[in-house]
């Protein structure tokens, strides 16, 4: 007797249909085996399935049962095949037909309940693409799958409930998508208004958020670099619908959507420690998992103590920063993960950290400082649009200053401006492949950045006076474009260029 | 010495002590070098008015400003600036002299083909390009040894009618140069500094012991009997009221953007773009988030 049940496997963010074939032989010694390149987790599935069936008060047949996961040459990984296998076996025991046009996806626990399983969203997307009408998933994962419209998503609590549904006794209602109350940006660790002073750095952060620009902050320990970066999370606009789906897919595959979780609405903010390995940042492993740069997709990758990161890790950022996607090749497979993130880095001005500190003496020689700065990779610096110094300020004095308080805007007010600027960019790049000013290539700059005559003149003068490289020259224009967007102006004026010049790379000018 | 060195081979040029062209002032010191190796164009007039400018390697912002201000005026007035090519005050003095279009002599603690410290190779070339000299009493490819430094100081002090110490700690090479200056009966100037700063302790001690206080280029030019040219004033461009405000605020000393914004009371975007334009015009400069006035800017204080 042979039964076929549909399921799905993931290869990076691609989904491949899997046909789970279950055969119960009429003759032969009792055995229960899985073939079709199962990994350890899949091979152990037979023990879970057997126990779950028994614990659901269903008889497990003492027959020769072979399960094949077709296509047989694709390595199978994960625990999502428990449910289809169990359904197939039980259908033979209880003599019912496995529902047509249905996909089963989920992990079983020993007591017969169906557990939250990673990758459910992708399975649901695959079902819609293939025209499969019903999908049975764990109840805890049903909400993330219910985002996909046009199919019926059934959240299954346990095997018995599923049986009752299939036998038509008690039907499971298709899951309706519910937006969880998004943990709003307002809950970001710091509000911009809490940071005393640092007006320039705050403005830089605002511009970075508005145009998706990469940003480097240089300053002594305690100047507030980390606080600024964390406050950045609070002024980012929410993900657009398209972006939200992209990000949720990555998080679903990585198993980072909580049980009952909905779409990811907030822009991710990732801040890995500098002891991170190369595989940790780019993703990898024998079954490639998304790394930090993919988890930061459409959000922020914050690298605190940038000079302390191993060179191999920093250099690995280059290609994904350029292409917005990263391909991991392994001998068995090759997967791509999107990685369009905004890099925010912070660094000390010198090895001891106190160069130009108002009250502490720096103990580094000029040579040590130079060597320290050279540790930041040149090609990466070239890809950073905004460079800003974060000097140590007398926080107590500023906090007392009533006028300074008036200047300290709340994250909410800043976010309103950022959202407006982003909207302008959405319309500007509607027909293009890019979606933020920072992503503009030279041809886009020619097309979208009209400079006023004075602005052009200022730019030319400054490029010789400040020895701007060709790359920096274009970076200034890109930043000026964002500054103009913040005030909703079409043409880039001389003031916009001048302000953008404040954030040019200065590391090499000094000393 | 762990510093890397760079060697440039070239035709060695030598002046012996009995040569007519050997600098007279240097010849007078008790242990004058028997021969000098040099690079550049040897001319008599370069030795006429020499001012040694020495100081700490660990230069502060204050030290840098003082060195630049005094050296710029002195070099423009025609003095040759002599120093030891070390990083810190030395290198700043050489650079300021080069930038001001004056001549400068670098006395090396190593052979003249060795650039030490190696990353100052651009300065090395600039000194030669502007008609300055690189001199040493050691053969051309001698590496720098610790023992060479005091001997190098003899040349720096010996070549000059006066020595100016800008910043120095209590135990430092600059104080050795100062001692030599006194031994050679030359004039000694020192720039006073904050009393709570390590790099001011040496200069303050010198002043207490009788060194002339150098408060500006005036004292020094007065000693040489040269009328200091009035600081060249560029034709004053019209500046906006905001620029004027910023300049007035910055006369209180270097300050961060936060302090500045409180003083001039405009929005950050306005202030940032104005600061860039002022920087472009050379009125101000920014270092590590702190803004300070340039000479050009000072001209507008009114």
Residue B156 pLDDT level (bands cut at 50, 70, 90): very high
- State the pLDDT at residue A353: 87
Task: Determine the average pLDDT of the residues in B56-67.
Answer: 87
pLDDT for A511:
37
Calculate the alpha carbon distances from A279 to A162, A275, A285, A305, B68 in Å.
40, 12, 7, 19, 50
Which residues fall within 8 angstroms of residue A340, CB to CB, at 6 or more apart? A297, A298, A324, A325, A439
Shared domain check, B82 and B14:
yes
User: Distance (Å) from the C-alpha of residue B162 to the closest C-alpha of chain A?
Assistant: 28
Q: Is B254 on the interface with A (CB under 8 A)?
A: no
The residue range of the domain holding B188 is: 6-224
Domain stops at, among B168, B196, B224: B224
Q: Is the whole-model pTM more than 0.90?
A: no
Q: Do B212 and B285 belong together in one domain?
A: no
Whether B71 is in a domain gets the answer yes
Which residue did the predictor score with more confidence, B38 or B253? Answer: B38
Provide the chain B residues 45-64 that lie in CB contact (below 8 A) with chain A: 57-58, 61
| Residue B182 resides in a domain | yes
Q: Is residue B233 included in any domain, yes or no? A: no
Query: Is residue B136 in a domain?
Result: yes
Q: All domains of chain A, ordered by start, with CATH?
A: 2-166 (3.30.230.10), 185-413 (3.40.50.300), 440-511 (1.10.8.60)
Considering only CB atoms, which chain B residues are within 8 Å of A210? Answer: none
Q: Which of A99, A97, A116 is nearest to A107 (CA)?
A: A116
Claim to verify: residue B294 and residue B219 sit in the same structural domain: no
Q: Which of B175, B192, B224 is a domain's end point?
A: B224
| Segment (H or E) for A473 | helix A470-486
Nearest to A404 among B262, B274, B289 (CB): B262
- State the Cα angle at A471 between A470 and A473, rounded to 5°: 65
A14, burial (CB in 10 Å: exposed 0-12, middle 13-18, buried 19+): exposed
Q: Are residues B135 and B271 in the same domain?
A: no
Q: Which candidate, A108, A133, A141, places its Cα nearest to that of A248? A: A141
For A73, A385, B38, B96, B219, the CA distances from B189, given in Å and listed in that order, are 86, 46, 27, 18, 9
Residue A93 has pLDDT above 80, yes or no: yes
Rounded distance between C-alpha atoms, residue A108 and residue A94, angstroms:
19
Percentage of chain A modeled with pLDDT above 70: 97
Give per-residue pLDDT as tens, B85-143: 998 999 999 999 999 989 999 999 999 989 988 888 899 999 999 999 999 999 988 89
Query: Is B190 part of a structural domain of the chain?
Result: yes
CATH number at residue B256: 1.10.10.10
Q: Is residue B231 part of a domain?
A: no
Confidence of residue B161 (pLDDT cuts 50, 70, 90): very high
- How high is the pLDDT of residue B164? 95
pLDDT of residue A83: 96
Q: At what angle do helices A470-486 and A411-428 cross, to 10 degrees?
A: 110
**Per-residue pLDDT reduced to its tens digit, A331-369:** 777 889 999 999 999 999 888 888 888 778 788 877 788
Q: Identify the domain boundary among B224, B251, B282.
A: B224
State whether ipTM is beyond 0.85: no
The whole-angstrom separation of Cα A101 and Cα B223 is 102
How many structural domains comprise chain B? Answer: 2
Rounded to an integer, what distance in angstroms lies between the CA atom of residue B119 and that of residue B6? 9
Cα gap A454→B67, rounded to integer Å = 37
Asked whether residue B270 is assigned to any structural domain, the reply reads: yes
Q: Are residues B175 and B220 in the same domain?
A: yes
| Residues B19, B58 within the same domain | yes
Residues B27 and B137 in one domain: yes
**Residue keyed to tokens 């700043």:** B92
Percent of chain B with pLDDT over 70: 90
Of B59 and A272, the one with more pLDDT: A272
Across residues B164-188, what is the average pLDDT? 93
Is B250 in the same domain as B156?
no
Q: Tell me whether strands A215-218 and A342-347 are parallel, antiparallel or unpaired.
A: parallel
pLDDT-based confidence at residue B234 (cuts at 50, 70, 90): very low
B279 and B153 both lie in a single domain: no
Q: Report how far residue A74's alpha carbon sits from residue A63's, in angstroms, rounded to the nearest whole number.
A: 27
CATH code of the domain covering residue B158 = 3.40.50.450
Region of residue A101 (left: phi > 0; alpha: psi -120 to 50; beta: else): left
Helical packing angle, B241-250 and B257-264, nearest 10°: 130
pLDDT band for B296, please (50, 70, 90 cuts). low
When CB atoms are compared, the residue of B57, B58, B289 closest to A200 is B289
Q: Closest by alpha carbon to A87, among A130, A135, A127?
A: A135
Please say if the pLDDT value at position A316 is more than 60: yes
My answer on whether B108 and B46 are in the same domain is yes
Q: Do B282 and B253 have their domain in common?
A: yes
Residue A226, min C-alpha distance to chain B (Å):
17
Residues B257 and B143 in one domain: no
In a domain, B236, yes or no: no
Rounded mean pLDDT, A432-460? 90
């Amino acid at each position: 007797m042979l039964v076929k049940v549909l399921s799905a496997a993931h290869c990076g963010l691609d989904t491949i249909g899997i046909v789970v074939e279950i055969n119960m032989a009429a003759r032969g010694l009792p055995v229960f085996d899985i073939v079709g390149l199962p990994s350890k987790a899949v091979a152990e599935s037979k023990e879970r399935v057997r126990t779950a069936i028994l614990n659901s008060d269903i008889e497990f047949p003492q027959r020769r049962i072979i399960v094949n996961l077709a296509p047989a040459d694709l390595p199978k990984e994960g625990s999502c095949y428990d449910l289809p296998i169990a359904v197939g076996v039980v259908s033979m025991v209880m003599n019912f037909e496995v529902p047509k046009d249905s996909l089963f996806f989920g992990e079983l626990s020993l007591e017969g309940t169906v557990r939250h399983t990673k990758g459910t969203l992708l399975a649901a997307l695959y079902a819609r693409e293939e025209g499969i009408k019903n999908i049975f998933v764990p109840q805890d994962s049903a909400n993330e799958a219910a985002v996909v419209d046009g199919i019926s998503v059934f959240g299954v609590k346990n095997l018995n409930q599923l049986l009752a549904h299939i036998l038509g006794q008690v039907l499971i209602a298709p899951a309706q998508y519910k937006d969880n109350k998004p943990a709003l940006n307002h809950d970001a660790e710091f509000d911009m208004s809490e940071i005393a002073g640092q007006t320039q750095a705050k403005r830089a952060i605002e511009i970075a958020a508005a145009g998706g620009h990469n940003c480097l902050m240089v300053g002594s320990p305690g100047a507030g670099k980390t606080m600024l970066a964390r406050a950045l999370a609070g002024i980012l606009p929410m993900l657009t619908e398209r972006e939200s789906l992209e990000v949720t897919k990555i998080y679903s595959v990585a198993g980072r959507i909580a049980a009952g979780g909905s779409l990811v609405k907030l822009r991710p903010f990732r801040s890995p420690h500098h002891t991170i390995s190369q595989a940790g940042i780019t993703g990898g492993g024998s079954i490639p998992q998304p790394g930090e740069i993919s988890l930061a997709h459409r959000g922020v990758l914050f690298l605190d103590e940038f000079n302390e990161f191993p060179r191999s890790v920093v250099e690995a950022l280059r290609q994904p920063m350029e292409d917005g996607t990263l391909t991991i090749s392994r001998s068995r497979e090759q997967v791509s993960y999107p990685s369009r993130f905004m890099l925010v880095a912070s660094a000390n001005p010198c090895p001891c950290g106190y160069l130009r500190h108002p009250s502490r003496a720096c103990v580094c020689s000029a040579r040590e400082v130079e060597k320290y700065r050279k540790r930041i990779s040149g090609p990466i610096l070239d890809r950073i649009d905004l460079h800003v110094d974060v000097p140590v300020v007398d926080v107590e004095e500023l906090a007392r200053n009533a006028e300074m308080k008036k200047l300290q805007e709340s994250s909410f007010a800043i976010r309103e401006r950022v959202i407006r600027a982003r909207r302008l960019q959405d319309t500007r790049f509607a027909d293009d492949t890019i979606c933020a000013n920072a992503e503009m290539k030279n041809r886009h700059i020619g097309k979208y950045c009209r400079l006023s005559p004075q602005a052009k003149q200022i730019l030319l003068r400054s490029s010789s006076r400040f020895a701007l490289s060709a790359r920096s020259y274009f970076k200034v224009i890109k930043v000026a474009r964002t500054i103009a967007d913040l005030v909703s102006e079409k043409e880039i004026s001389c003031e916009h260029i001048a302000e953008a010049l404040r954030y040019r790379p200065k590391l090499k000018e000094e000393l | 010495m762990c510093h890397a060195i760079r060697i440039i081979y070239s035709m060695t040029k030598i002046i012996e002590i009995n040569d007519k062209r050997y600098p007279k002032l240097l010849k007078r010191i008790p242990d004058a070098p028997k021969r000098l190796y040099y690079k550049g164009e040897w001319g008599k007039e370069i030795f006429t008015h020499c001012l040694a400018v020495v100081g700490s390697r660990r230069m502060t912002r204050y030290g840098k400003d003082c060195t630049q201000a005094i050296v710029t005026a002195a070099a423009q007035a025609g003095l040759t600036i002599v120093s030891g090519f070390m990083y810190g005050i030395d290198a700043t003095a050489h650079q300021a002299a080069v930038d001001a279009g004056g001549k400068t002599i670098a006395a090396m603690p190593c052979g003249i083909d060795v650039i030490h410290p190696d990353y100052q190779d651009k300065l090395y070339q600039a000194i030669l390009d502007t008609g300055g000299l690189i001199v040493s009493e050691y053969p051309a490819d001698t590496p720098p040894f610790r023992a060479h430094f005091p001997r190098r100081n003899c040349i720096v002090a010996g070549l000059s009618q006066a020595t100016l110490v800008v910043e120095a700690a209590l135990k430092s090479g600059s104080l050795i140069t100062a001692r030599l200056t006194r031994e050679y009966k030359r004039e000694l100037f020192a720039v006073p500094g904050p009393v709570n700063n390590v790099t001011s302790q040496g200069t303050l001690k010198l002043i207490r012991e009788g060194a002339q206080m150098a408060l500006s280029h005036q004292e020094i030019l007065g000693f040489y009997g040269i009328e200091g040219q009035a600081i060249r004033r560029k034709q004053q461009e019209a500046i906006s009221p905001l620029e004027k405000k910023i300049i007035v605020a910055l006369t209180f000393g270097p300050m961060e953007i936060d302090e500045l914004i409180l003083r001039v009371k405009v929005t950050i975007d306005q202030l940032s773009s104005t600061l860039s334009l002022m920087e472009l015009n050379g009125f101000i400069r920014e270092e590590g988030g702190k803004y300070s006035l340039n000479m050009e800017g000072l001209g507008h204080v009114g």
